[in-house]
Structure 1
Amino acid sequence: MSRIRPFINNELIKVLTGFRRSGKSVMLDLIKQELIAQGVRRDQFISYNFEQMKYAHLLDAQVLYDDLQERISHIDGEAYLFFDEIQEVEQWERCINSCRVDFDCDIYVTGSNAHLLSSELATYLAGRYVEFDIYPFSFAEFLDALAQSGNPMSETEAFRKYVMLGGMPFLSRMVDDEDSSLQYLNDIYSSVVLKDIIARNNIRDVDLLERIIMYVLANVGHTFSGNTIAKYFKSEGRSVSRETVLNYVNACCDAFLLYKVKREDLVGKKILSVNEKYYVVDHALREAVYGYNERDIDQTLENIVYMELLRRGYTVTIGKAGQQEIDFVAAKNKQKIYVQVTYLLASEETAQREFGAFQPIADNFPRYVVSMDEFDMSRNGIKHKNIRDFLLMKSYE
């Protein structure tokens, strides 16, 4: 809300994007509450949720525009328009642009497809919209939700729950029922794969898609390329092209299920074109669909830290400096932080490896090693943080 608030009652179209069930509809409700507190009347609101059957007849831009024109004609004063899951409307961008031009209105839009929104917003609404990414709960938000639900617990126990259940908002009410929580996550995964990936991209080979997703989930936080996956399937006796693999993975990224992170040469100051890493929007989806989050705890912690950096508005790459690789280079407002994530600094050799990764870096931006260790092992100007403390820090700069 702190990011959205300055744009309320502003002529720019407010676009909220993100994974299904991550809280976009709730954000629209919070915006309405904010407007009411400012003196706006409820009868000035016009809302549509295009996943509801009662709006099925409005999934065409012209029909929707005609309905809006009729409803707005009965409003005294400015109209506030809320469109939830707008990508379901055919040529929706033309309708939204006409509303902006034709009516005295303030417009809020949510959507669950990055490609659909970015390409069509850029075409019709360039310079006339502001976009906000909505993510599942951070650990701090998870703690707040537990407290508000009357289920407070220690940070240590809450983090164990967070590793298992993740940050999908609904699950903060179900922390004591892990089986039902994982079933809920499985159902979300299935609906996103079916609706936002298979149907929207006309994918015919569903089995191949699911196998590719499983490969990516198994290798969260590991570098690989489209060729790597294609060779893996070839070794399994199944021929698939690199282009098909990349198309399927990109469809998952468009649905906000996966996030691709490029590698950056910190010495040559350039983005490398091979061997990206991928992370999943919520680490608990990996547990529900693939399993092994506790076994692969290093990958899980890395996923959690990556999503936290995104929530805080950082642009994130993987740093490569000579033979050394740094898990995350996070940039914002011409500032940077460098972050190494590991499970435990169990030996001096491990500590030297993790802290030593920063050695080739010449600048003085903050450097962090993040782990599950309870004792502070900071050295040589490099800060060591327990992951819970790192996630709850107000600022990293």
Structure 2
Amino acid sequence: MIIRQEYLDRIQPFIGKPVIKAVTGLRRVGKSVFIRQIINQLKQNGIAEKNIVYVDIESLEFDFIRTYQDLNRYVLEQTAGIEGKIYVFIDEIQDISEWERTVASWSGQPDRYDVTITGSNSTMFSGQLSTKLTGRYIEFPIYPLSLREFRDFFPEFSDNEKLFDNYLRYGGLPGLRILDELRDETVLPFLRSIHDTIVLKDIVARRNIRNTSLLADICRFTYDNISKPLTASSISAYLKNQKISVTVPSVINYLTGLVDSQLFYKAYRFDLKGKRQLEINNKYYAADLGLRHSQIGYRSSDISYLMENLVYLELLRCFDQVYTGEIGKWEVDFVALKNAKPHYFQVTMNLAEPAVIERETRSLLAIQDNFPKTIITYDKIHGDGIAGIEVVNLIDFLLEAY
């Protein structure tokens, strides 16, 4: 079992503290293994096994737990007569009806219960739990493997170019490690089955969607347009041109389902001049490029869009908030905030021509502050920075924790 140390380091200060730990992320992104790593760490630190309760809602062993009453009853039965703090771990908790009622009850008994839950729905904390637990829970998102982690999972790729090529093509789901070899004939069917599971469990069933064919069309169109401004109206117009009748509200519903399931992330646009978030020209990025390629294929001609997608995911791992930006009529690919301080990024294939350099630097130079500005390029060799703007190679950027 490969330790995902960055996530363990992030959650460790909150273990044993009176706050609910909410681990979220795409299905098959490694949340269950991560939970087991936390449990192993607790045992190594002297916590008795009898003081740890682990419930995996996707396991038939726990099929009888359907409601919040079932969950509460089971934990009480397992811990009856046991002294000391009880460490409760509930995996994929969103499948339990009204689960937030039991979790809220446990949060009111911090001397008795330390609670960690996982879920595959990005909005699982936007309802009653958010109201009941204001200030008493912290969300820990888990993402597909970074290129750094991918290197740990696949040490056979000692050459960084080979490592990156496989990462770009097959994505970063940890389950890839069970395959004997990374090649299209084995990886793509494996990823298609994962994608089908996510669509059926987290979108079709949860949102009671009947027109699965339309959902598939919208999903493929969104995959085909990662890193581009996208609206429900533009999707509806495209589908109508394909003789597929659909309303804008239906598209919004399906797009929301794709984002809630965490197959996609929606990046909001930020006006750097007006200092405000915009509701137009938002972009969608695939949570995992391997899942994308399992649906629409891998096309080397998409490399500039794939680069931007990879950079966005890396910024999500390293920063608190990530927006796409604009200043006047020019784009800033990403505005990433950490501790409320911005870092600005442009992503480009190369800086070979003066016109390209001018295009990629003008928006950054127009920003009137002294916060860091970086251009990320696919160029293997680059010179010094440009007018105070750092220039880095894409692979180097992805391999160095920011």
TM-score bracket relative to the smaller structure? over 0.9
Assess, with a 3 A threshold, how the Cα gap between structure 1 residues 324 and 71 changes in structure 2: closer, same or farther: same
1:134 to 137, 142, 145: 142
Deviations 1:52-111 (A, max 9, x none): 112111111112211211111042322111100000111111112223335712111000
| Counterpart residue identity of residue 77, structure 2 | E
Deviation, structure 1 residue 173: 4.7
- 1:98 paired to 2:99: no
Match of 2:50 in 1: 43
Deviation, structure 1 residue 351: 2.4
Deviation, structure 1 residue 304: 0.5
CA distance in 1, matches of 2:321, 2:81: 44
Q: Percent identity?
A: 37
CA distance in 1, matches of 2:171, 2:55: 29
| Counterpart residue identity of residue 124, structure 1 | K
User: Which range moves more in the overlay, 38-47 or 344-353?
Assistant: 344-353
- 1:64 paired to 2:35: no
1:283 to 282, 289, 295: 289
Match of 1:232 in 2: 238
| Counterpart residue identity of residue 66, structure 1 | R
- Secondary structure of the equivalent of 1:58? coil
Deviation, structure 1 residue 233: 1.5
Deviation, structure 1 residue 318: 1.1
| Counterpart residue identity of residue 388, structure 2 | G
Match of 1:16 in 2: 23
Are the counterparts in 2 of residues 166 and 283 from structure 1 also a CA contact under 8 Å? yes
User: Which range moves more in the overlay, 367-376 or 345-354?
Assistant: 345-354
- 1:260 paired to 2:266: yes
CA distance in 2, matches of 1:127, 1:187: 38
Match of 2:168 in 1: 163
| Counterpart residue identity of residue 28, structure 1 | I
| Counterpart residue identity of residue 120, structure 2 | S
2:158 to 132, 144, 153: 153
Are the counterparts in 2 of residues 142 and 172 from structure 1 also a CA contact under 8 Å? no
Deviation, structure 1 residue 128: 1.6
Are the counterparts in 1 of residues 169 and 298 from structure 2 also a CA contact under 8 Å? no
Deviations 1:270-299 (A, max 9, x none): 112112100011112111111234220111
Are the counterparts in 1 of residues 50 and 79 from structure 2 also a CA contact under 8 Å? no
Are the counterparts in 2 of residues 146 and 173 from structure 1 also a CA contact under 8 Å? no
Are the counterparts in 2 of residues 85 and 109 from structure 1 also a CA contact under 8 Å? yes
Are the counterparts in 2 of residues 318 and 326 from structure 1 also a CA contact under 8 Å? yes
Assess, with a 3 A threshold, how the Cα gap between structure 1 residues 348 and 191 changes in structure 2: closer, same or farther: same
2:186 to 176, 180, 189: 180
Match of 1:374 in 2: 380
Match of 2:5 in 1: none
Deviation, structure 1 residue 236: 1.8
Deviations 1:316-373 (A, max 9, x none): 1111111210111111112111111122334332222112232321111111111211
Are the counterparts in 2 of residues 253 and 260 from structure 1 also a CA contact under 8 Å? yes
CA distance in 1, matches of 2:180, 2:342: 35
Match of 2:349 in 1: 343
Deviation, structure 1 residue 112: 0.5
User: Which range moves more in the overlay, 233-242 or 295-304?
Assistant: 233-242
Aligned-CA RMSD value? 1.6
Assess, with a 3 A threshold, how the Cα gap between structure 1 residues 374 and 238 changes in structure 2: closer, same or farther: same
- 1:251 paired to 2:289: no
| Counterpart residue identity of residue 312, structure 2 | Y
TM-score (norm 1): 0.95
CA distance in 2, matches of 1:389, 1:272: 32
Deviation, structure 1 residue 310: 0.4
- Secondary structure of the equivalent of 1:357? helix
2:329 to 323, 326, 331: 323
Match of 1:213 in 2: 219
CA distance in 1, matches of 2:99, 2:340: 36
1:77 to 72, 78, 84: 84
CA distance in 2, matches of 1:247, 1:49: 29
Deviation, structure 1 residue 152: 4.1
| Counterpart residue identity of residue 259, structure 1 | Y
Are the counterparts in 1 of residues 107 and 136 from structure 2 also a CA contact under 8 Å? no
TM-score (norm 2): 0.94
Are the counterparts in 1 of residues 92 and 120 from structure 2 also a CA contact under 8 Å? yes
Deviations 1:22-59 (A, max 9, x none): 11111111111221122101121111100111211111
Assess, with a 3 A threshold, how the Cα gap between structure 1 residues 295 and 334 changes in structure 2: closer, same or farther: same
Are the counterparts in 2 of residues 293 and 300 from structure 1 also a CA contact under 8 Å? no
- Secondary structure of the equivalent of 1:90? coil
Q: Which runs of 5+ in 2 are unaligned?
A: 1-7
Q: Which runs of 5+ in 1 are unaligned?
A: none
- 1:311 paired to 2:334: no
Divergent runs of 4+, >3 A = 100-103, 172-175
CA distance in 2, matches of 1:25, 1:389: 30
Match of 2:275 in 1: 269
Assess, with a 3 A threshold, how the Cα gap between structure 1 residues 259 and 51 changes in structure 2: closer, same or farther: same
Task: Report the count of equivalent residues.
Answer: 392
- Secondary structure of the equivalent of 2:9? coil
CA distance in 2, matches of 1:2, 1:370: 27
- 1:120 paired to 2:128: yes
CA distance in 2, matches of 1:294, 1:175: 25
Match of 2:399 in 1: 392
Assess, with a 3 A threshold, how the Cα gap between structure 1 residues 165 and 292 changes in structure 2: closer, same or farther: closer
Deviations 1:87-143 (A, max 9, x none): 011111111222333571211100001223332321332222111001011011111
Match of 1:27 in 2: 34
